[in-house]
Structure 1
Amino acid sequence: MPEPTQSLPPGSLEPQRALEHIRPSGIQETQGFGWNKEPESGSRVEFELEEVAERAVSTRKHVFAHFIVGNTYPYTVADWVADIKLAASQDIDGFVLNVGGDSWQKQRSADCFAAAKKLSTTTKFSLFFSFDMTSIPGSAATDVQFLRDYITPNYNSGVMFRQPATNHIVVSTFGGEYSTFGQGSMESGWAYLKSELNKITPIFLIPAFFISPSRLPSIAAIDGAFNWDGGWPIKLSASSPRNEIVNAALDSDTDYIRALTHGARSYMAAVSPWFFTHYGPNTYNKNWMYRGDDWLFVRRWQQLIAMRDHVDMVQIISWNDYGESHYIGPIEGAQPNSHAWVDGYPHIAWLYLNRYFMKAFQTGTYPAITKDQIFLWARPHPRDASSPDPVPRPTNYQLTDDVAWMVVFATAAATVDAYTTNTNKVSFAVKAGMSKLSFPLLADGGMKAVMVRNGAVVAECNPTTYRFESRPGVYNFNTLVAMSS
């Protein structure tokens, strides 16, 4: 039976209205497809230069990065200290520690808590757990003990994140819709789990169940929900119409917000820069991608900023999930056999790009742009290139385009010149503010961007190791991300 049509509560925003509620002082969006000329008529150009007098309610919001503890086998406390310092330096509020069924992950988590406590006098940084219920057993009542063993030693550490309104520690999951904890149903199972953990300390349960949002109101135990898939256009396929592929809709938030509003529950949204995984059937048998084009990371942030009154927390997916290519932290630790498409493809520049938009979500106001800066990313080979790779092209590889994506921050009007060779150039006139730009890649070429003002170079991004390889050794739909100094 179809669900009845419901309206969002007064003051809500549909996702497509990103930028209408909060916006920086300048935005330009341009795609260039010609050389040595200004963008032609028909290019996508959007200017939003007026100041907005009314902004969203400036309640402080929290943003966390999803951290795969399963990739930290060789980590020491010093490694955790370094990661926490780096994340905190970019104003991320904390890590969501994804823990699975491996027993050694308990000690690595303990090391993370030790590192956070060590830094707590100078660095405010919080932690909470996301239990990977695809790996952790949850069929018997005794399986509660696994989760209890993580909560008990850490709940009173002083660094566990507590939901501000209730002061309860936050607990999340990846999956869990099949977990019953011996109670006969998912709903009663999680009620039992919560009652058991509440004996230790009150918890604020905000899981990522992979179910229809329409079921959420019937799950009494939850205090909210995390929309794990909300940051990617997961409904697209190779047969989708082109007009649905470009600037693909990210429109699942509304269903969650409607469902959670009935119980005044919290909504945690996802933001992610990319998704590509390339495991053959002899390993994890995961080989697909989502379209990360059209400045996905930036567009998703703009959308969440526009609807921040209805989003309580955001989780960045991810800090270190190398297997799915959406890491924004450094490449370190123990990769899950993903070296073929990760090594040599740093994403750390996304961490620095993230801060501008994240701060706008956290505070309700975009930071001032005080430095000319260029961010640039692209895939390593043409979409249709052939490779001797025994693992075939990923499912839905046809969704991506052979384009370099660029975001620039300009303190004043300037020209941005983008190169794929020394002679192939496309130029963009940008105004003060943030601009989203793009240009086509050239087989066996590179990528470089220069910002010029009054005849002087004020920013340059030149990833010299990058080459758009026409004959790749493996199918790699990851991306190299670079930034100006």
Structure 2
Amino acid sequence: MRLSSAAWVLCAAQTLLPGALAKAVFAHYMVGSVTEAHAHQDIDDAVAMGLDGFVLNTGDPKPYYVKNNFDYMFNYTRDKYGGKFWLFLSIDIQTPGLTNEYTDIFREFKDHDAYYKGPNGRSFLSTFDSKALTNVHWQSFLNKFANSTYFVPDFDDTLGYYEASIGWWKYWGSIVDGLFSWESAWPPAVSGLGGAYPGDIGLDKIVQDGATARGKTYMIALSPLQYKNSYGNNYYRPGDLNLPRRMAGILGMSPSPDFVEIITWNDGPESHYIGTIWPEPNDNKQAAVYTPPGLAAPHTAWQPLITSFINAFKSNLSATAMTPATGDAVGALWYKPIMQNTKCANESLGGFYAKPAGFNKTTDQLNWAIVLPPGAEGYTVRLYTGNSTKIHEEVLVGGLNFNATSGGLRVGEQSMDLLLNGKVVQTAKKGRSISDNCPDGIYNMNPQVVGLRAVTG
């Protein structure tokens, strides 16, 4: 990593002092019936890529595995990564009105040594939307903990939120310490909440300005896409260059957000995972068609790019100053596994077999991002489609580079080469081939993500 001594001191201070107003990057983590060994591996992997912690999304705190999961995640974090990695609760109410179900688990863990504390030294607490509950209801819930919470909810389902209206702040302002926005992470599938285009941060700016004006913090979302074809849903929210564009946009915001929440570490059914998809908590048969556990559709190749983003975010650097953590170039190629002209035989059955809402919001294209050391010269990227046809070539510069091909995509293997002074030094290949004959029986929009690797021999 090419950081100055001052930057290293800043990063260390942010890591060791969660009670200070320090920038931090977390990943949304779906709490499920994962084994202890797999949960520990998730923590190890997250620490290795530079994350500050997991946001433990808890839909129902009553099943036995939730308490077990919290026990071995919190204790492992404290014992192995004390002061370097943190955990905190995000309430995702499944039964309207039942915030009381979260009282015991929050009370038990909020003072744990591994529990993340906000700038006021209080226990950080978040939510997945308001669940149509009133300000009085939420205040009553918070009162149970004697002003010991730092409350940063996702209340973007409430009227006036994305306008930062005076009425919204009059109604909610007294109970929130900061805000987190979920829906602004992507464009909408068809209509509704979301950015104007992949990577747009316009809505976040409005919300953050409202929060900043009132002395509140802001946690912004960073996510590659949202494709869900399970649990009665079938929609696609791009996608494409959403991830690198939001990276660049976030790094260019002034003032900078206080926190970033990556959506997500392990939500297989929504396709925006960057960590490992383990078999035990991902047993939905429909989701398994497009997000099979194991190595069929890994997204971990996005991690080195995000590591570079994390370092830049904490050091208040722009996207053009992003640096690969290892000193060598890092990058990834990603693409959906089917062509737009694909015809699936069972489409007429609808539901799971139909084209997802938002299907036509993308095109046949290869998306890529590469981070080079600042000042790097002599680098070029080449992309190939249909096994060997060159479709794109571009000269690269230091920092974050990203783009997408325009036209000419063919079925077959897709690949990307990184060249230095005309010689291939890294390549991304051997992802699943693109098809036009519906190999999964559905319109699968979960992308293949292939990382750059050094060329040997």
| Cα displacement string for residues 280-299 of structure 1 (whole angstroms, at most 9, x for unaligned residues) | xxxx2111111212x11011
Structure ranking higher on relative contact order (CA contacts 8 Å, 6+ apart): 1
Question: For 1:75-474, what aligned pairs fall within 5 Å after superposition?
Answer: 75-76=35-36, 78-101=37-60, 102-104=62-64, 105-121=66-82, 124-133=84-93, 135-138=94-97, 143-144=99-100, 146-164=101-119, 166-179=120-133, 186-198=134-146, 202-209=148-155, 210-211=157-158, 212-213=160-161, 214=165, 215-219=168-172, 220-234=174-188, 237=191, 249-279=200-230, 284-293=231-240, 295-307=241-253, 309-332=255-278, 333-337=280-284, 338-343=287-292, 344-365=296-317, 366-369=321-324, 370-389=327-346, 390=349, 391-410=353-372, 411-433=376-398, 434-439=400-405, 440=407, 442-462=409-429, 464-472=430-438, 473-474=441-442
Question: Cα–Cα, structure 1 residues 261 and 250, in superposed 2: closer, same or farther, change >3 Å?
Answer: closer
> Secondary structure at 1:152's aligned position in 2?
helix
Higher-Rg member (1/2): 1
Contact 1:322–1:336 under 8 Å retained in 2: no
Please give the TM-score of this superposition, normalised by the length of structure 1.
0.77
Q: d(CA) in 2 for partners of 1:137 and 1:115?
A: 33
Question: Cα–Cα, structure 1 residues 441 and 355, in superposed 2: closer, same or farther, change >3 Å?
Answer: farther
Question: Cα–Cα, structure 1 residues 367 and 424, in superposed 2: closer, same or farther, change >3 Å?
Answer: closer
Deviation, structure 1 residue 479: 0.2
Larger fraction in helix: 2
Structure 1: tracts of 5 or more residues without a match: 1-23, 25-57, 180-185
Deviation, structure 1 residue 467: 1.0
**Counterpart amino acid of 2:238?**
R
| Cα displacement string for residues 443-480 of structure 1 (whole angstroms, at most 9, x for unaligned residues) | 42221111222342211111x24111110122101101
Residue 33 (structure 2) aligned to one of 73, 76, 90: 73
Question: Cα–Cα, structure 1 residues 255 and 454, in superposed 2: closer, same or farther, change >3 Å?
Answer: closer
Please give the TM-score of this superposition, normalised by the length of structure 2.
0.82
Q: d(CA) in 2 for partners of 1:451 and 1:264?
A: 45
4+ runs deviating over 3 angstroms = 235-238, 244-250, 366-369, 440-443
Deviation, structure 1 residue 64: 0.4
- State the identity %: 26
Question: Cα–Cα, structure 1 residues 359 and 401, in superposed 2: closer, same or farther, change >3 Å?
Answer: same
Contact 2:187–2:198 under 8 Å retained in 1: no
Q: d(CA) in 2 for partners of 1:150 and 1:327?
A: 25
Question: Cα–Cα, structure 1 residues 158 and 247, in superposed 2: closer, same or farther, change >3 Å?
Answer: closer
Q: d(CA) in 2 for partners of 1:457 and 1:258?
A: 45
Question: Cα–Cα, structure 1 residues 278 and 247, in superposed 2: closer, same or farther, change >3 Å?
Answer: closer
Deviation, structure 1 residue 234: 2.1
Structure 2: tracts of 5 or more residues without a match: 3-13, 15-20
Q: d(CA) in 2 for partners of 1:422 and 1:446?
A: 5
Question: For 1:1-40, what aligned pairs fall within 5 Å after superposition?
Answer: none
Which residue in 2 is equivalent to 1:482?
A: 450
